Amino acid sequence: MRFYYIRRRVTTGVLMLLLVGGAGCSYFHTMYFERMDRGEVRIDRFRLTPRIFAYQDLKCPGDTPEDRDFVVSIRVEDIRSHTINYTWQAEQVTIDSLADDFLREVSSVFIVDSLVFHQTPHADERILMFPDQANFSPRREDFFTLQFGYADIPLETTRLRVVLHVSRLGPSNPRPSPDSAVWLMNRVEIHDRGLNMFRDNMRGYE
Output the CA–CA distances (angstroms, integers) from residue 56 to 51, 52, 53, 65, 176, in the order listed. 13, 12, 8, 10, 39
- Enumerate the domain spans of the chain: 26-198
Dist CA 60 CA 159 (whole Å)? 25
The pLDDT assigned to 191 comes to 76
Half-sphere exposure (Cβ direction) of 113: Cα atoms closer than 13 Å: 14
The pLDDT assigned to 190 comes to 84
Q: How many secondary structure helices (H) and strands (E) does the chain include?
A: 2, 9
Please, are residues 32 and 56 in contact by the beta-carbon 8 Å criterion? yes
Dist CA 53 CA 165 (whole Å)? 20
SS3 category, 21: helix
- pLDDT per residue, tens digit, the chain (206 aa), is 544 444 444 444 444 434 444 444 467 888 999 999 888 999 999 999 999 999 887 776 555 555 579 999 999 999 988 766 665 567 888 889 999 999 999 999 999 999 999 999 877 789 999 999 999 999 999 999 999 999 999 989 999 999 999 999 977 666 889 999 999 999 998 877 655 555 556 666 66
Assigned architecture for domain 26-198: Sandwich (2.60)
